[in-house]
A and B are shown apart, each in its own frame.
Chain A
Amino acid sequence: MAWFHKHRGLMPYVLLAPGLVFLAVFFLVPLGFLAYQSLESGNIDFGYAFTWSFGNYGTAFTDYRPEFIRSIEYAGIATLLALLLSYPVAYWIAFRGGRWKNLLLLMIVAPFFVTYLIRTLAWETILSDNGTVVRILQHLHLVSPGGHILATGTAVIAGITYNFLPFMALPLYVSLEQVDPRLVEAAQDLYASSWKAFWRVTVPLSLPGVVAGTLLTFIPAAGDFINAQLLGAPQNHMIGNVIQSKFLELTDYPAAAAMSFILMGAIIVAVAAYARAVGTEQLSGTAV
C-alpha cells in the first residue's frame, strides 16, 4: 500500500492490466492467428504452410459471392424492418410509458431471456407448413396453396428481424427518452404541425439511437448462421453457414479464415458507407 502511495500514477494501469491482458491474449492475438491462417495453403492431412497465399481471399470471394451478397442483403433488410417495427413502440414507451416504462422495457428484452436457439425453434413451430400463420396467409392468397414460409428467404429474414429486435428498440428508446418534449411544443407553438414537428425535431434528435440500433442489429445479423440453418433452405445460406462448415466440418481453415476477414471487411465497409450517409458525428456518439 505504501508503494502505491509513492506511485499513484501507476494505479490505473494496475487496475487495467489483468482485464486488458486477458483481452489482448484471447481477443487480439487470436485475430492475428486468424490473419496468419488465412494466408496459409495446404490441407488438414498434409499440414498447412504459411505461403502469403493472398489468393485465398480471391477464391473465397468468387466461390461464395452469392452467400456474401445474401448476408449483407438479409442483414440489411432485417435491420430496416427492425427499425420500422420498433421505432413507434420506442416512441410510445418514451412519451406515453409513464410509470409503466420499466415494465415495458422489461417486455422489450424478454425474448433475450429465452435461449436464442429455442426462440428460433419456436419460430420454426409458428411458421411450420400446417401452422396457423401459413394457413391464414394462404387464405389471404399471400401464400399460394401448398406453398410455405419455412425454408424460404422470408423465414430467414423474419427470424433475424425478431432475434435482434431488442438491440434496435433499446437504443431507440434511450435516445427518444432524452428528447425534451418542450422542444416539440416549441415547434408546435411556431405553427409546425405535429407531423412536421415529429420529422423536424423528434426524428433528428433520435438519430444517435437510430445509428446505434442499426449497428447493433446489422453487425451480428450479417454474421449469423443460426436463422439460415434452422429456418432456411440451403439456397438461403449466408456466409456464416459457409464459415462454420469450412471450419468445423471441412477443416478448410485457410479459406474459412479468409472468409471471416472478408466478412469483417464487408461489415466495416457497410458501416463506413452508412456513417458517410448519416454523418460521422452521430457515429462517434455511439462509441463506448
Chain B
Amino acid sequence: MSSVAVSAQSRANVTAGVWAFVKRHMLTVYSMLFFLYLLLPIGVVIAFSFNEPVGKFNYTWHKFTWDNWHYWNGVPGIQSAVVLSLEIAALASLVATALGTLIALALVRYGFRGRGLTNLLIFLPLSTPEIVMGASLLTLFLNLNFVFGFWTILIAHVMFCISFAVVSVKARLIGFDRHLEEAAMDLGANEWVTFRKVTLPLIAPAILAALLLCFAVSVDDFVVTYFNSGSAVTFPLFVWGAARIGAPPQVNVIGSAIFLFAVSAMLLNVLIQTRRTKGAVTE
C-alpha cells in the first residue's frame, strides 16, 4: 500500500469520525433549539398573562401582576364566550364521539359493501380546507333560513369532529381481541349484554381519547365557527374581535389555563402509560 493511499484512508477515517461526532451531537443540539422555538410562543403567552400592560396593547413587558388571573373575567363578554365554548365542546364531543364510535365499530368488525365509500366520506372532511367547510355550511344554513347561533355552531362542530373520532377510535380498535366477545356469547350472554359488559369496557380508553381529541379540536376552532356563529361569540371569536383593538391580558390568562389543563391531562396519560408498560415488564 502506498503512503498516498494510507493518508487518504486515514483522512477518510477522520472525516467519518468527525461526521459521526457531528451527527450525534449536532442533532441533539438542533433538537433542543427546535423545542425552544416550538415552546417560545407558549412561554410568551403565559408570561404576558402576568403583565400589567401600559395602554391597550399587551405587547411590551411592563410589570408583573396577579390581577389578570384574579380578575380573569374582568373584561366584558369574556366569561360568556368561555362558557359557550365549553358548552359547545362538551356537547359536540359527546355527539361526535358516539356517532364516530359506531362508525369505527362497523369499519373494524364487519365486512360490508360500501366500505371504500365510507372511508372516503370520513377522509374528505379531514382533507378539506376549513374555510371551504365553513363557507359551504353557511350557504346551506342561509338557503334553509336557519337561525345562526348555538345550534348552527353545534352542528358545525359535530360535523368536523366525527372524522377525528372515527380515526381515533379505529386506531385503537384494530388490536381488539374478538374472541373475548365470542367467549361471552358462548357463556350465554346476549349481544347487548356482551356489548355492555365486554366490548364497552375494552374500548373505553379509545372512546375517552376520542372525546378528548374532539373537545380540544372544538374548543380551538375558529374558521368554521366564524362562518356559522351569527351573533354568538365563542372564546376564539372573542379573541379575534379583541385582537383588532388590542387583546387584553385576560385572553392570555384563558389561553394559559386551557394549555395548562390540557398538558396536565396529557402528562397524566403519559405517566399512566409509562407505569403500565413498566408494570407489564416487571411482571
Contact residues in B for A248 (Cβ distance below 8 Å): 226-227
A249–B49 Cα gap in the complex (Å)?
32
Contact present for B135 and A256 (CB under 8 Å)? yes
A20–B166 Cα gap in the complex (Å)?
11
Interface SS majority for chain B? helix
Query: Interface with A: B67-75, B173-181, B247-255, which one?
Result: B247-255
The answer to whether the Cβ of B77 comes within 8 Å of any Cβ in the partner chain is no
Contact present for B227 and A247 (CB under 8 Å)? yes
- Mask, A81-103, CB within 8 Å of B = 1, is 00001101101110010010011
Residue pairs across A and B with Cβ atoms less than 8 A apart, 15 shown, are A12-B112, A13-B106, A20-B118, A23-B125, A23-B159, A30-B136, A31-B136, A34-B136, A111-B42, A115-B220, A121-B247, A223-B130, A223-B131, A244-B131, A287-B119
The answer to whether the Cβ of B162 comes within 8 Å of any Cβ in the partner chain is yes
Closest to B135 in A: A260
User: Looking at chain B, what size class is its interface with the partner chain?
Assistant: 35 or more
Write the nearest CB–CB distance from A110 to chain B, whole angstroms: 6
- The winner among B16, B159, B267 for most chain A CB atoms within 10 A is B159
- Mask, B114-153, CB within 8 Å of A = 1, is 0000110111111111111101111110110000000000
Q: Could you tell me which B residues sit within 8 Å of A by CB distance?
A: 16, 19-20, 23, 27-28, 30-31, 34-35, 37-42, 44-45, 48, 58-60, 99-100, 102-103, 105-106, 109-110, 112, 118-119, 121-133, 135-140, 142-143, 155-156, 158-159, 162-163, 166-167, 170, 190-192, 216, 219-220, 222-223, 226-227, 235-236, 239-240, 243, 247, 251-252, 254-255, 258-259, 262-263, 266-267, 270, 273-274
Contact residues in B for A22 (Cβ distance below 8 Å): 99, 158-159, 162
Closest to B239 in A: A117
A89–B159 Cα gap in the complex (Å)?
34
Q: With A106-B270, A240-B131 given, is the CB distance from A288 to B41 under 8 Å? A: no
Write the nearest CB–CB distance from A25 to chain B, whole angstroms: 9
Contact present for A215 and B129 (CB under 8 Å)? no
Contact present for A243 and B131 (CB under 8 Å)? yes
A107–B59 Cα gap in the complex (Å)?
25
Contact residues in A for B240 (Cβ distance below 8 Å): 117
- The winner among A9, A27, A195 for most chain B CB atoms within 10 A is A27
Contact present for A117 and B222 (CB under 8 Å)? yes
- The winner among B38, B119, B155 for most chain A CB atoms within 10 A is B38
Interface SS majority for chain A? helix
Contact residues in A for B41 (Cβ distance below 8 Å): 111, 114, 119, 122-123, 126, 162
A116–B155 Cα gap in the complex (Å)?
21
Q: Which residues from 1 to 60 on chain A have a C-beta closer than 8 Å to any C-beta of chain B?
A: 1, 4-5, 9, 11-13, 15-16, 18-20, 22-24, 26-31, 33-34, 36-37
- The winner among A86, A99, A244 for most chain B CB atoms within 10 A is A244
A91–B23 Cα gap in the complex (Å)?
11
- Mask, A236-271, CB within 8 Å of B = 1, is 000010011001100001001100100110010000
Contact residues in B for A18 (Cβ distance below 8 Å): 99, 102
Contact present for B42 and A1 (CB under 8 Å)? no
Contact residues in B for A230 (Cβ distance below 8 Å): 243
Contact present for A34 and B106 (CB under 8 Å)? no
A18–B254 Cα gap in the complex (Å)?
35
A160–B156 Cα gap in the complex (Å)?
24
Contact present for B192 and A1 (CB under 8 Å)? yes
13 A-B pairs besides A86-B34, A118-B239 with CB distance below 8 A are: A1-B192, A20-B118, A23-B122, A26-B159, A27-B121, A27-B136, A30-B137, A31-B132, A108-B38, A111-B41, A116-B236, A125-B48, A288-B126
A248–B191 Cα gap in the complex (Å)?
50
Write the nearest CB–CB distance from B7 to chain A, whole angstroms: 19
A243–B44 Cα gap in the complex (Å)?
31
Contact present for A1 and B191 (CB under 8 Å)? yes
Contact present for B263 and A106 (CB under 8 Å)? yes
Contact residues in A for B122 (Cβ distance below 8 Å): 23, 288
Q: Which residues from 208 to 228 on chain A have a C-beta closer than 8 Å to any C-beta of chain B?
A: 215, 219-220, 222-226
